[in-house]
Amino acid sequence: MRARVFVRLKRGILDPQGTAVKRALEGLGYREVQDLRVGRVLEMELDATQPDQARGRLEEMCRRLLANPVTEEFTVEIVEDGGRPRLA
Protein backbone atom coordinates (compact mmCIF):
# COMPACT_ATOMS: atom_id res chain seq x y z
CA MET A 1 0.00 0.00 0.00
CA ARG A 2 1.04 3.57 -0.44
CA ALA A 3 1.22 6.23 2.23
CA ARG A 4 1.66 9.95 2.36
CA VAL A 5 2.97 11.86 5.35
CA PHE A 6 2.49 15.62 5.66
CA VAL A 7 4.85 17.43 8.01
CA ARG A 8 4.28 21.09 8.77
CA LEU A 9 5.43 23.64 11.34
CA LYS A 10 3.15 24.03 14.34
CA ARG A 11 1.00 27.10 14.35
CA GLY A 12 2.84 30.14 15.75
CA ILE A 13 6.31 28.85 14.92
CA LEU A 14 8.28 31.32 12.80
CA ASP A 15 8.64 30.09 9.21
CA PRO A 16 11.47 32.04 7.53
CA GLN A 17 11.17 29.88 4.39
CA GLY A 18 7.45 30.59 4.05
CA THR A 19 8.08 34.29 4.55
CA ALA A 20 10.76 34.28 1.85
CA VAL A 21 8.47 32.50 -0.64
CA LYS A 22 5.63 34.90 0.11
CA ARG A 23 7.94 37.84 -0.45
CA ALA A 24 9.13 36.37 -3.75
CA LEU A 25 5.51 35.93 -4.88
CA GLU A 26 4.80 39.53 -3.97
CA GLY A 27 7.79 40.50 -6.09
CA LEU A 28 6.17 38.72 -9.04
CA GLY A 29 2.95 40.63 -8.48
CA TYR A 30 0.92 38.03 -6.53
CA ARG A 31 -0.17 40.44 -3.84
CA GLU A 32 -3.21 38.44 -2.82
CA VAL A 33 -1.09 35.98 -0.79
CA GLN A 34 -1.72 36.96 2.82
CA ASP A 35 0.02 34.13 4.62
CA LEU A 36 2.15 31.27 3.40
CA ARG A 37 3.75 28.40 5.27
CA VAL A 38 5.99 25.71 3.82
CA GLY A 39 5.78 22.05 4.85
CA ARG A 40 6.85 18.81 3.23
CA VAL A 41 5.27 15.64 1.86
CA LEU A 42 6.81 12.18 2.10
CA GLU A 43 5.45 9.53 -0.23
CA MET A 44 6.10 5.90 0.62
CA GLU A 45 5.47 2.45 -0.70
CA LEU A 46 4.85 0.07 2.20
CA ASP A 47 5.02 -3.69 2.44
CA ALA A 48 1.93 -3.91 4.65
CA THR A 49 -1.66 -5.09 4.43
CA GLN A 50 -3.33 -3.81 7.62
CA PRO A 51 -4.03 -0.05 7.27
CA ASP A 52 -4.44 0.52 11.03
CA GLN A 53 -1.22 -1.24 11.81
CA ALA A 54 0.58 0.62 9.03
CA ARG A 55 -0.75 3.92 10.33
CA GLY A 56 0.54 3.14 13.80
CA ARG A 57 4.01 2.41 12.43
CA LEU A 58 3.97 5.55 10.28
CA GLU A 59 3.07 7.70 13.27
CA GLU A 60 5.94 6.12 15.17
CA MET A 61 8.27 6.94 12.24
CA CYS A 62 7.07 10.54 12.40
CA ARG A 63 7.69 10.83 16.12
CA ARG A 64 11.11 9.22 15.92
CA LEU A 65 12.54 10.63 12.70
CA LEU A 66 10.35 12.22 10.06
CA ALA A 67 9.06 15.15 12.10
CA ASN A 68 10.55 17.22 14.91
CA PRO A 69 7.86 16.99 17.60
CA VAL A 70 9.10 20.19 19.27
CA THR A 71 8.41 22.39 16.26
CA GLU A 72 6.38 20.32 13.82
CA GLU A 73 3.07 18.47 13.54
CA PHE A 74 2.22 15.70 11.08
CA THR A 75 -0.68 13.89 9.45
CA VAL A 76 -0.56 10.43 7.94
CA GLU A 77 -2.55 9.38 4.88
CA ILE A 78 -2.94 5.78 3.71
CA VAL A 79 -3.63 5.12 0.05
CA GLU A 80 -5.16 1.66 0.01
CA ASP A 81 -4.77 -0.36 -3.15
CA GLY A 82 -7.32 0.87 -5.67
CA GLY A 83 -8.89 3.12 -3.06
CA ARG A 84 -8.91 6.85 -2.43
CA PRO A 85 -6.54 8.50 0.03
CA ARG A 86 -7.94 8.49 3.53
CA LEU A 87 -6.94 11.12 6.05
CA ALA A 88 -5.70 9.75 9.35
Partner 1 sequence: MTAADPKVTLDLALAHGLTAEEYDRIIQLLGREPTYTELGLFSALWSEHCAYKHSKVFLRLLPTKAPHVLQGPGENAGIVDLGDGWALVLKMESHNHPSFIEPFQGAATGVGGILRDIFTMGARPIATLDSLRFGDPEDPKTRYLIGGVVSGISWYGNCFGVPNVGGEVAFAPEYQGNPLVNVMCVGLVRRDRIFRARAEGVGNPVFYVGAKTGRDGIHGATMASAVFEEGAEERRPTVQVGDPFTEKMLLEACLEAMAGGAVVGIQDMGAAGLACCSSEMPSRAGTGMEVELSRVPRRETGMTPYEIMLSESQERMLLVVAQGREEEVRTIFAKWELDAVEIGRVTGDGLLRVRMDGQLVAEVAVRALTEEAPVYEKPTARPGWLAALHAFDPLSLPEPADYEAALLRLLAAPTIASKQWVYRQYDQQVGINTLVLPGSDAGVLRIKGTSKAIAVTTDSNARHVFLDPYQGAALAVAEAARNLACSGARPLAVTDCLNFGSPERPEILWQFAEAIRGISEACRALEIPVVSGNVSFYNETEGEAILPTPVIGMAGLLEDAGWRTTQWFKSAGDRIALIGPDAVSLGGSEYLAILDRRLAGRPAPLDLRVERDVQAACRAAIEAGLVSSAHDAAEGGLAVALAEACISGPEAVGAEVELPSLGRHDLTLFGEGPSRIVVSVPPRAQRHFESLMGECQVPWRFIGTVGDERLTLKVGGSVLVSLSLDQIAHAWRTGFDRYVG
- CA pair distance 84, 16, nearest whole angstrom: 34
Q: Which is nearer to partner 1, 32 or 34 (CB)?
A: 34
Distance CA 88, CA 80 (A): 12
Between CA 14 and CA 71 the distance in angstroms is 10
CB nearer partner 1, residue 12 or residue 29: 12
Q: Site residues (CB under 8 A) for partner 1?
A: 10-16, 19-20, 23, 68, 70-71
Q: How far is the CB of 12 from partner 1 (least distance, A)?
A: 5
Shortest distance (Å) from residue 17 CB to partner 1: 9
